[in-house]
Amino acid sequence: MTLRAISDACAPHGMMVMGASGGRVLVGCDAGFWAVFSASPEYSDGAPHPVDRWSKRIIGAMAETFGAATAFPSDGPPYAPFIAWAMDTGRFFQSPVGMMVHDTAGLMISIRGALIFDGIPDVPPPDATSPCDTCAGKPCITACPVGALSDTPPYDVPACKAFLNTDAGNDCMINGCKVRNACPVSQRFDRPAAQSHFHMKAFHPT
């Protein structure tokens, strides 16, 4: 089994290999995710947790094809240590606002699951560097209207949600987190407003 084969299997579903380490391949959303997901039965059936159910169906089918086990961030407690797994790949780093940042996805990180193998012999050694190291101006630091994020978590979630309840917070609800959107690397995803609104409603139901 090769990472190329897994990447090729992910692509039609708007997903990508975000990193691999220790026999674990982390699968996450790519730029094409929303077009695929929003046409799925999970999106329109009205049942809870549509993205989680879609992820389990798609990644579960890939696991059967490749003879892998699976793990998902939504399963728990106990929850699998996805943050530690991500950092182990050498492709995720801590950003100046505390969130993880990915070498090609920036702050638009959405790990949907992991394929777990006994071993993948051709995983290349990580040679990525944090995109924050060469980011001019680091716009993420000043992007949050209420300063809810910093390099020393925990985040000020109450301040964020209180702001989202105001008229001024409507733009964040419709177009997504200003911090994530400010990241120059994240902007390659060019998320549609419908996707950002969907995720914000999941974060802050009204």
| β-strand partners of 29 | 15
Residue 150's pLDDT is: 87
Binning pLDDT at 50, 70 and 90, where does residue 46 land?
Answer: very high
Give the model confidence (pLDDT) of 160-191 as tens digits: 999 999 999 999 999 999 999 999 999 887 78
- The number of distinct structural domains making up the chain is 1
Q: 91 is in which domain, residue-wise?
A: 3-203
Binning pLDDT at 50, 70 and 90, where does residue 122 land?
Answer: low
Residue 44's pLDDT is: 97
Average pLDDT, integer, range 135-143: 94
- In 80-185, which ranges are continuous DSSP H helix? 82-88, 140-143, 157-164, 170-175, 178-182
Dist. CA 76–CA 182, nearest whole Å: 32
pTM of the model: 0.93
Confidence check: pLDDT of 128 > 90: no
Dist. CA 47–CA 78, nearest whole Å: 24
CB-count exposure of residue 48 (10 Å: 0-12, 13-18, 19+)? exposed
Give the model confidence (pLDDT) of 57-85 as tens digits: 999 999 999 999 999 999 999 999 999 99
